Amino acid sequence: MKIFKLCLVVVFAIALTAFAVKTDAKGYTVGDIATDFSLQNIDGKKVSLADYKEARGFIVIFTCNTCPYSVAYEDRIVALDKKYASKGYPVIAIMPNDTDLKPGDNIDAMRARAKAKGFTFPYLLDEGQDIYPQYGATKTPHVYVLQKTKKGNEVKYIGAIDDNYKDADAVNERYTEAAVNSLLKGEEIKKPQTRAIGCSIKAKS
């Protein structure tokens, strides 16, 4: 009986430790330095932030094919890249879902979707699901605006693209645009963090 109780205590302790490790990994906050990554693009090539020598920063967006929120924002994501890539802030899209759980998000589906929608930016697969937890992304879409500094790629904005996923014409606040515009002007971002609205990222339990 004593051995059985001891085993229960050990199992419980391990479970608590595993839970703590999982929940403590909250990802980046504004002001953190984001480490680089190397992820497969839909063209088969690996892409890293370091590849963009002339960039002043990045609009990193975790998104996917299958989430209706992401689909609703696709045209706006394309518009962000067209507006800001030439100003030094290109969009880098990352698909974080487990493709066994969401086959509609596999690399072939990503490639087809990018072609159909005319994506002007890399669409990367977080195949090992290592990058989205590092950032702390929980939704698709989830935005992280980074600025190149002497310290590295500093996180300057986290959250939603804007305040109305249903209707692009009814948007009152364009959070991501406002953040990048402030950085371009050398001003403080008025709303450096908002709540991302979207589908939960699908990961194996």
Rg (CA), the chain: 19
Asked whether 111 and 142 are in contact (CB, 8 A), the reply is no
What is the per-residue pLDDT across 58-73, written as a single tens digit (0 to 9) for each? 999 999 999 999 999 9
Sheet holding 123-125, edge to edge: 33-34, 152-159, 142-149, 57-62, 91-95, 123-125, 39-41, 46-47
pLDDT the model gives residue 26:
83
First and final CA of the chain: distance in angstroms? 32
pLDDT the model gives residue 8:
35
Buried b (16+ CB within 10 A) or exposed e, 162-173: bebbeeeeebee
Centre a 10 Å sphere on the Cβ of residue 63 and count the other Cβ atoms it contains. 28
> Is residue 134 within a helix (H) or strand (E), and if so which, with residue range?
helix 131-135
Which regions of the chain are under pLDDT 50? Answer: 1-25
Q: What is the pTM of this model?
A: 0.87
Among candidates 191, 190, 148, which has minimal Cα distance to 60?
A: 148
pLDDT the model gives residue 3:
43
pLDDT the model gives residue 187:
97
Contacts 24+ apart (CB under 8 A), 113-118: 113/65, 114/42, 117/74, 117/75, 117/78, 118/78
pLDDT the model gives residue 47:
98
Asked whether 59 and 69 are in contact (CB, 8 A), the reply is no
pLDDT the model gives residue 204:
84
3-state secondary structure of 74: helix
DSSP secondary structure code for residue 95 in this structure: E
pLDDT the model gives residue 174:
98
Among candidates 181, 53, 79, 60, which has minimal Cα distance to 126?
A: 60
What is the per-residue pLDDT across 71-109, written as a single tens digit (0 to 9) for each? 999 999 999 999 999 999 999 999 999 999 999 999 999
Asked whether 143 and 159 are in contact (CB, 8 A), the reply is yes
**Is 140 exposed, middle or buried, given 0-12, 13-18 or 19+ CB atoms closer than 10 A?**
buried
